[in-house]
Amino acid sequence: MSTHSLPNRQFLAEQAKIFKALGHPSRLLMVDALRQGEKCVCDLQALVGDDMSTVSKHLSVLREAGVVTSERRGTNIYYRLALCCLDTFLTCTGKLIEQRIAAQLPLLRHTS
């Protein structure tokens, strides 16, 4: 489906849903881990350190936004990134943050 087939506001609302799903530190932590490949929900729970119910809710938000997909294998559920461009986006935003920190370092050294 092309972007022109949806009314502009609806299209933007769908994009906003993706950004909203990424707008929580725990969800970003899980997405960052999934950049390395699929992970079991148990691994993601250990990484985040929240209870399983909270982790499941976060993963549900990511899945509903189309950021991740899941697959059940036996008693475990495995997650992987579904949004291929996220790796590039997170690398880009990471570089921006590093640049901001580097620009502030001289100011911090000067005031101490």
Domains of the chain in start order, with CATH, are 3-83 (1.10.10.10)
Q: What are phi and psi of 41, to 5 degrees?
A: -55, -30
pLDDT at position 6 = 61
Task: Give how far Cα 91 sits from Cα of 32, 35, 53, 68, 97, Å.
Answer: 10, 11, 29, 18, 10
pLDDT tens digit sequence for 55-98: 999 999 999 999 999 999 999 999 999 998 998 999 999 999 99
Q: Say yes or no to pLDDT of 1 above 60.
A: no
Q: Can you tell me the mean pLDDT for 104-112? A: 75
Name the nearest CA neighbour of 75 among 36, 41, 39.
41
Is residue 92 within 8 A of residue 108, CB to CB? The reply is: no
Q: Can you tell me the mean pLDDT for 12-27? A: 95
